Structures are given as C-alpha cells and as structure tokens.
Amino acid sequence: MYTVKEISTLAGVSVRTLHYYDQIGLLTPTRKAENGYRQYSDAALLRLQQILFYRELDFKLLDIRALLDDPNFDQISALEEHGDALVARLLRVEGLIATVEDTIKHLKGEKEMSKKELFKAFSEEEQEKYAKEAEKKYNPEIVRASNQKWKGYSAEKKQEILDEGNQVYVDMVAAMPKGADSREVQAIVLRWRRHIGYFWAPNLEQLLGLATMYGQSPDFKEKFDAMHPALTDFFREAVEIYVDNQ
C-alpha cells in the first residue's frame, strides 16, 4: 500500500490534486488507516496512470471518471488507444517542425513552396482532436466511435480526407473578401460540415460549438492566424450565419 505522499512522489502529482480526485470520486483511497491516512493499492496506481493519460489527451475529469467506471472499460485496450494517440501527436509535431523549417527556407528564397505545402502540417488529425473536444461536451462515447471511424479508413482514404480538409480552409481564406454571408462562403461552410462527417455527425449546436472552439484554442487559433489573421473570427461568423439559416 502507498501513502498519498508516496503516490505524489511517484506520479509527480500534488497531494492537493490527489485529495481533489478523492473528493470527486475519480481516485478514492483503497482504504484509510486507523490514523486517517489515505492508502492506495497497485490497482489504484494503474487507475491514476489512466487518469494522467486521459488528462494528457485533454479529457475532462468527470468524463474520465465516467470512462473508468464503465463496467466495459478495458485497461489494455485503453492503453493501446493512448499509444496510438500519442504516436499521432508525435508525428504531428514532427510534421509541424518540418513545415516551419521549409517555410523559413521559402522566405529566404532557398526553397519554393506551393500554397498546399504551406498548409500541409495543418492536417485533419488536428481538426479531429478539436472535434473530439466538442463531442466530449455532449457524450464521451462519441469520442470512441469517432476514433474507430477514423481507424477504419484506408491509408489512401485518410490522405484524401486530409487533402480535402486543407482545401476547405485554403478556399475559405480566398473567399473572405466576399463576406461571411456570401453564397461562396456559405457553400464552403457546407463543404466543411460534410467533411466533419468523416469523423462524427454534429448537430447544429455542436457545429457552432466546434467553430467557436477553433477561435478559443490558442494552438488552433495560431494555425488559423498563420493562414489569415482574421480567419478564426470570420470562420465562426460564417458558421453562425449557416446555422441561423438552417
């Protein structure tokens, strides 16, 4: 058995955080000693590891609790999914670094890059991540279904989806001078909605929530700003008009 202090040292989590996890029923002590001290078993350690993996993937605490308390929860399958997600994140960071380096060379006149190449690092995997964030606000189970849906596509189909997603944002930037309520921009919003369907099927409220999230997330906003400084606000306005017209 382990004390709170020992768990804190092992996992790098503060004692205060562990007390809070106990308070909300996310990680309760295996037992309490006669002196009132919390004690944790090896099983509790493994649960804490799962909590930290889900936190790394930006899950909310109450959603994590619901997942871990699900009678059908399988620890090995969950770890395999964590591994897939972290590898995908690593590959994405490597792609971003490569694009930064290529863009520097482009600006120095050492390498020519097409518009498509400028945006190749902003893959649909990143869009998928934020789609999951919106999904978690409504039903955590949709997240699993979205993961499985993506994994079910062939490598060729995944690349086709990524290219289509990039083109949606490129076309949106090109159409911005025509106005968010223009026929051209609204047609692009419809393309975007259909494109999101490769991952999940949001209702109108969730669709607007996803567009809002693009502007609220610092790293995603940074990517949109790289395409056009006003893109995040414009995108949300265009989606809001689209939702109002439905």
List the domains of the chain with CATH numbers. 2-69 (1.10.1660.10), 74-113 (no CATH), 123-244 (1.10.490.50)
| Residues ≥6 apart with Cβ < 8 Å to 180 | 234, 237, 238, 241
pLDDT at residue number 79: 77
**pTM for the full predicted model:** 0.47
For residue 129, pLDDT over 70 is answered with no
Cβ atoms of 42 and 36 within 8 Å: the answer is: no
Q: Is the dihedral of CA 181, 188, 178, 235 positive or negative?
A: positive
Beta-strand relationship, 38-40 and 31-32: antiparallel
CA–CA dist 41, 101 (Å, integer): 47
Please count the residues of the chain: 246
For residue 138, pLDDT over 50 is answered with no
Q: What is the pLDDT of residues 84-105, one digit of tens each?
A: 766 666 666 666 666 677 777 7
Bridge partners for 3 per DSSP: 39
